[in-house]
Amino acid sequence: MVSYLRVSLSFIFSALLISPAVSQSCSSQTFSGDKSYPHCLALPNLKAFLHYSYDAANTTLAVAFSAPPSKPGGWIAWAINPKATGMAGSQALVASKDSKTGVASVTTLNIISYSSLVPGKLSFDVWDVKAEEEAAGTLRIFAKVKVPADLAANGKVNQVWQVGPGVSPNGRIQPHDFNPPNIKAVGSLDLSGATTGVSASGGGGAVNSRIHKRNIHGILNAVSWGILFPIGAMIARYMRIFESADPAWFYLHVSCQFSAYVIGVAGWATGLKLGSESKGITFNSHRNIGIALFAIATLQMFAMLLRPRKDHKLRFFWNIYHHGVGYSILILGIINVFKGLSILNPEHTYKTAYIAVIATLGGITLLLEAVTWVIVLKRKSDNSNNPPKP
């Protein structure tokens, strides 16, 4: 029994040592044929590796890039950006595995913007392009690149790498996550190999700043459009039924909605700033709903200045407009918060917490709605039983 236990532990220990997920490093990776690369970088994000060699005489860069896709059947990409440090403008090599044949292949993408992720010719020559699948689903890209003269003279190139979840049937790659490791997957590559690490290309601080602004944008908008506006609407609908709450309910309603509007505008402005700093990154539906929310919420704020008296003949039409726009803000705000959560892709705890808040508000709304109808029907019954004396 002891001997069996020793053998089992020895087997498990040996398996762990040779497991690619545990022991994969620059030195442990091998290549088929006569491929050899004097330089290797364990890239700082997405569990990626880059083996490379550079021939300064003809400015040829040979690379072998490997990384695990974010999901089975996903894709990996390595790119050079000749003019900037981000993905927009990159000249990319994208590897994926065909779902039917199981064969890995490489596609070239000239990424003009994030909304234009279609195959295209690169701005520099590339040849000997090949893809293969390693153990545990990791993909590898082989290629030789003709480095542009201005980049070769500088001795460094801006590299970008990325992984994604899959490829659609029409060949379009599905969007990658926007978690910190994905956003930080950029750096400067020293062609000579003298620098063994990956520098941040002067963009590390900017990346951290964008992540910070992104989080602020999400929090401000979730609190304003997604929580305060619904609470303000509930105050107006359910507090006014109690005669003792008049006019306190009105001032509470206005205060809550105005606070939500101010916070929402701050979140909207942060989103505009993020957009200006993230050229090529466009989330059309989220952006368009945000613009619509800002426009109709601003209109709603100004409409308060034109609110007719209760006995005015236009008050009925103003009420229809006010309620219609208000409920539109309520619905669009909650929808856009969920769209924002899917873009930010935070920990499930945050999405669960927001769902819990909305569910709680929904439950309170149903309870108050029932109470309101009971009070209204009781008053009608009392009025019919006690008609006013002539």
Binding residues: 217, 253, 286, 322
3-state DSSP assignment of residue 131 = strand
- Please answer whether residues 177 and 345 qualify as being in contact, where contact means their C-beta atoms are separated by less than 8 angstroms: yes
In sequence order, which residues have a C-beta less than 8 Å from that of residue 45 and are 6 or more positions away? 161, 181, 182, 184, 185
Return d(Cα 239, Cα 252) in angstroms, integer. 10
Q: What's the CA gap between 76 and 105, in Å, rounded?
A: 11
Output phi, psi for 107, to 5 deg.
-120, 145
Binding-site residue numbers for heme b are 217, 253, 286, 322
3-class DSSP state for residue 8?
helix
Name the residue among 45, 348, 89, 276 with its Cα closest to residue 180. 45
Q: Which helix (H) or strand (E) holds 234?
A: helix 229-238
Distance CA 43, CA 50 (A): 7
Q: What residue ranges in the chain does DSSP mark as E strands?
A: 39-42, 49-55, 60-67, 75-81, 91-97, 104-110, 126-133, 139-146, 156-164, 186-190
Cβ-defined contacts of 371-378 (< 8 Å, 24+): 371/238, 372/237, 372/238, 372/241, 375/241, 376/241
Q: Answer for the pair 160, 46: CB distance below 8 angstroms, yes or no.
A: no
Give every CB contact of residue 210 below 8 A, 6+ residues apart in sequence: 183, 274, 277, 278
H or E, element range at 151:
helix 149-154
